[in-house]
Structure 1
């Protein structure tokens, strides 16, 4: 059995994943507690892939509040030999190869991609199967957009489930 590639993200009601300083502390303040979708994602997660900008956040707040443990891959264009956090696996190269490595690390379970650039690159390469999206009841006004990719063709999504302010969406191919 091969796992899926799931883009799991929390965004503000006005569409931001980072505040004006690229911080994500607001997510923890705005979180309404565990959701059924969140629990399902955690239970099916075999590996976690994010960009280098999230290393500091991951060091302080393990994915899913520490309720999940497993391989964490950090996609970077920097030399992986200059690791800043030895508990992570640093990967570089073509996003297709990086996602394939992540799926191998997931051992048949889902690979979770999160952050800004990594999920966008994976989506644009046709590698993302689903989005698991939490909308936080907060307005940031500015910051890092959830998805910002001028010039690309629209990606069609199909709502699989929705509950409150959480959505599971399939990428329509």
Structure 2
């Protein structure tokens, strides 16, 4: 059964990006551990928000690929700007809402799972009850401000189902109670 995974790297104080949207803060603490590699191997599709897509394709930032270039499967981007999408043959842009976007990504994933990337999209999926698991790679840095992963949504009870660490990074895996 295809699962929907909220999958991201975050700072110890809960941010996935600092105020300047840089990514350098994530590196230098170790590589993906076995949980990170296992998660990537389980994936059949990726669903991202438009902000994350745009940040990953900023001019003059060099080439940025999902999962460090280790991802080659279907990518879906949910956007509110359906009339303003780039010509990107590697991405399917969707605008029919969160439930439709998750359903389309699940259908494309086949036997694999769907990774949800981005703070707003992750929060929307959690609030809609669409997330089965939360997989976090926690980097030992306090960013203090920026893009917070979890916002003001209601409680979401979790059950720890795995964890490990390589270098300074702590990998955590939780089932969303009542889902998976």
Structure 2 counterparts to residues 22-171 of structure 1, below 5 A = 22-27=21-26, 29-59=27-57, 60-79=63-82, 82-149=85-152, 152-164=153-165, 165-171=170-176
Q: How far off its partner does 1:139 sit?
A: 1.5
Decide whether aligned partners of structure 1 residues 142 and 41 sit closer, same or farther in structure 2, where only a CA change above 3 A counts.
Answer: same
Label 1:24 to 1:84 Cα distance change in 2 as closer, same or farther (>3 A): farther
Q: How many Å apart are 1:119 and its aligned residue?
A: 1.1
Gaps of 5+ in 1: none
Counterpart Cα distance in 2 of 1:23 and 1:66 = 18
The normalised TM-score by structure 1 is: 0.90
Equivalent pair of 2:85/2:93 in contact (CA under 8 Å): no
Structure number with the higher helix fraction is 1
Q: How many residues align?
A: 169
Give 4+ residue runs of structure 1 displaced > 3 Å after superposition: 56-59
Counterpart of 2:9 in 1: which secondary structure?
Answer: strand
Contact 1:30 1:136 in 2 (8 A): no
CA RMSD in angstroms comes to: 1.6
